[in-house]
Amino acid sequence: MAYDEDLAERIRDVVGSARDTSERKMFGGLAFLFGGHMGVVVLGGGGLMIRMAPEAAAALVDDISVAPMVMQGRELDGWLRVSAAAVADEPTLGEWIDRGAGFARSLPPKKPKSATKPAK
Q: What is the pLDDT of residues 39-69, one digit of tens each?
A: 999 999 899 999 999 999 999 999 899 999 9
Torsion of the alpha carbons at 86, 15, 48 and 108, rounded to the nearest 10? -130
Does any domain span residue 118?
A: no
Does any domain span residue 49?
A: yes
Amino acid letter for position 100: G
Instruction: Please give the tally of structural domains in the chain.
Output: 1
Does any domain span residue 22?
A: yes
CATH number assigned to the domain comprising residue 61 = 3.90.1150.30
Does any domain span residue 112?
A: no
pLDDT for residue 112 is more than 80: no
pTM of structure: 0.87
* Cα dihedral across residues 99, 53, 83, 43: positive or negative: positive
Residues 112, 36: contact at Cβ < 8 Å?
A: yes
pLDDT in tens, 67-92: 999 999 999 999 999 999 999 999 99
Helical segments of 35-89, H only: 54-60
CA end-to-end distance (rounded Å), the chain: 41
The parent domain of residue 82 ranges over 5-106
Does any domain span residue 116?
A: no
Does any domain span residue 75?
A: yes
